Amino acid sequence: MIMPGKLWRLCLLLALTVGVTLAQKKLRELKPGFNLFSVEQDVQMGREYAQQIEKEVQVVNDPTLVRFVEGIGRRLASAREAQGFQYSFKVVNEKSINAFALPGGPTYTHTGLILAADNEGQVAGVLAHEISHVILRHGTNQASKAQLIQLPAMLGAEMLGARGGITGMLAQLGIGLGANSVLLKFSRSAERDADLLGTRIMSSAGYNPIEMARFFEKLEAESGKSSRLGEFLASHPNPGNRVKAVQDEIQLLPRRDYTAGTGDISSVKQVAQRLPDPPKKPAQQQQAGANAPQGTGNPQNYAAGRPSNRLKEFQGGEVVFGYPDNWEVFPNEQTRQLTIASRSGMVGQAIGYGMIVNIIQSSAGLDRDTQTLVQQFQQGDPNIRVSSQSRRFRLGNSDALATRLQGPSPFQGVNEELVLITAQRPRGMFFLLLIAPDRDMNTAQPVFDQIIQSIRFSN
């Protein structure tokens, strides 16, 4: 049986590719990657999230701390490389060692981070790194890649004035600012780029960029000892050799004396140390898993999950397809995929009658990637087996494979048939998995055929 909640980890395996870095003599061009959001939407989203955050944390008004962090921020924001966004630099009364930037420019520095820094340059380093994530739009880039199917349609709706703002729309996709948010937890390659751009910004602003790398490495070294560091290091994973990478980058930049941020900051740290603890926070909302669909299917009776033979159209950015009009669409951030079924076609979280759709990153070609995907299904349930060889066909202008699988159904006493359609697309491998009890295939197959025939790719 297929538990959509277990699939996403497996799909991530496919996403791992081996990067090869060649020695470079010139400054590498750094620019934002693929993004379904507009810059204005980054800004709007940051504004909305900032309002939410500032209801939950205690923003510090102490003039010494405000002047210190805003002063650093102003200096960095004036760098040529930092143009294009209106940043804000606020201090949060929190002893954990953390800082973060929202899309579009609002940044928050915990007092714990100021206390952990040896000098102003290190605080500047973290902030330069954070605004580099803003400039390179890493948060919405990651959200775009995670939501290739659902997002374009929803962003269209947002443009037409959906209520609840852009963050309300993202919440429907399971995207928020909770732990492991796709908007704030960065990949190693995003980290490397934020280090490089942060280096350039610091240098332009007169700070010695090496302080950024030193501070990251210092925190890394202390991570075993301090529980106050977990979130920051998890959100900014070490891309490796940070100090060396920054040193190499400095070599490529115009030579200059780093005159900023060399003064003593012990008086600032004393103020941060003396701040009374903030009032206890209300319980944090759990975001993860909030969207996992729960079925109400009766394990003794699969008939209630049957698909209607009237199709409704699902419009994504990459793909349009039909699905039975008595089934519901359940998008999920963690699985990065759509589960489409009626609740009575699902027993708990297992799909007995339904379909799963996603686009996943591919690396080895359609045949190999399809095999890998099947193996991942089998890791989820070792009883799943391939019942007939993959058949090759054309789906629009894409190469596609149809593969039949069998396995135990979550409905008692029956097996299930699974029809897997995979197609090579420019941005990854599209897959559609159709699931039905085997003894109901006479009813299901004609509908499944209609669904497969309805698939259209946008280009």
- The C-alpha angle 43, 83, 176, rounded to 5 degrees, equals 25
Distance CA 108, CA 117 (A): 15
Q: Give the nearer residue to Zn ion in terms of CB position, either 194 or 319.
A: 194
Q: Give how far the C-alpha of residue 164 lies from the chain's centroid of Cα atoms, to the nearest Å.
A: 21
Candidate ranges 62-70, 230-238, 302-310, 346-354; the one touching Zn ion (CB under 5 A): 230-238
Nearer to Zn ion, 187 or 406 (CB): 187
Minimum CB distance to Zn ion smaller for 153 or for 233: 233
| Residue 407 token pair | 């396995």
To which H or E segment does residue 329 belong? strand 328-332
Minimum CB distance to Zn ion smaller for 139 or for 307: 139
CB 296 within 8 A of CB 343: yes
Q: Nearest distance from residue 190's CB to Zn ion, in Å?
A: 7
Q: Which is nearer to Zn ion, 128 or 395 (CB)?
A: 128
CB of 54 to Zn ion, least distance (A): 22
CA distance 443 to 434: 13
Q: Which two tokens stand for residue 384?
A: 């799943």
Provide the H-helix boundaries in 223-365: 230-235, 242-252, 266-274
Q: How far apart, in whole angstroms, are the C-alpha atoms of residue 18 and residue 168?
A: 36
Amino acid in position 34: F
Closest CA to 71 of 263, 345, 248: 263
Least CB distance from residue 106 to Zn ion, whole Å?
A: 16
Smallest gap from Cβ 130 to Zn ion, in A, equals 7
Which among 228-236, 247-255, 304-312, 413-421 is the span making contact with Zn ion, rule CB under 5 A? 228-236
Quick one: 217 or 318, whose CB is closer to Zn ion? 217
Q: Which x/- pattern, by CB under 5 A, does the window 176-215 give for Zn ion?
A: ----------x----x--x---------------------
Question: How far from each other are the two terminal CA atoms of the chain, in whole angstroms?
Answer: 33
Give the binding-site size for Zn ion (rule: CB under 5 A). 4
Cα 146 to Cα 16, 40, 113, 277: the distances in Å are: 14, 20, 30, 37
Residues 31-60 within binding reach of Zn ion (CB under 5 A): none
Any bridge partners for residue 386, and if so which? 405
CA gyration radius for the chain? 25
Rounded Cα gap, residues 320 and 404, in angstroms: 23
The single residue listed with the structure tokens 């995907």 is: 373
Rounded Cα–Cα distance for residues 369 and 51 (Å): 43
Q: In whole angstroms, how close is the CB of 60 to Zn ion at the nearest point?
A: 23
CB of 133: closest distance to Zn ion in angstroms?
A: 6
Task: Output the residue with the shortest Cβ distance to Zn ion.
Answer: 236
x/- binding map, residues 121-150, to Zn ion, per CB under 5 A? ------------------------------
Q: Which is nearer to Zn ion, 85 or 353 (CB)?
A: 85
> In whole angstroms, how close is the CB of 399 to Zn ion at the nearest point?
38
User: Minimal distance in Å, beta carbon 132 to Zn ion?
Assistant: 8
User: How far apart are alpha carbons 418 and 131 in whole angstroms?
Assistant: 46
Binding track, positions 232-271, relative to Zn ion; x by CB under 5 A:
----x-----------------------------------
Q: How far is CA 310 from the centre of its chain?
A: 34
Min dist. Cβ of residue 129 to Zn ion (A): 5
346 binds Zn ion (CB under 5 A): no
Which one, 228 or 306, has the nearer CB to Zn ion?
228
Which residues contact Zn ion by CB under 5 A? 186, 191, 194, 236
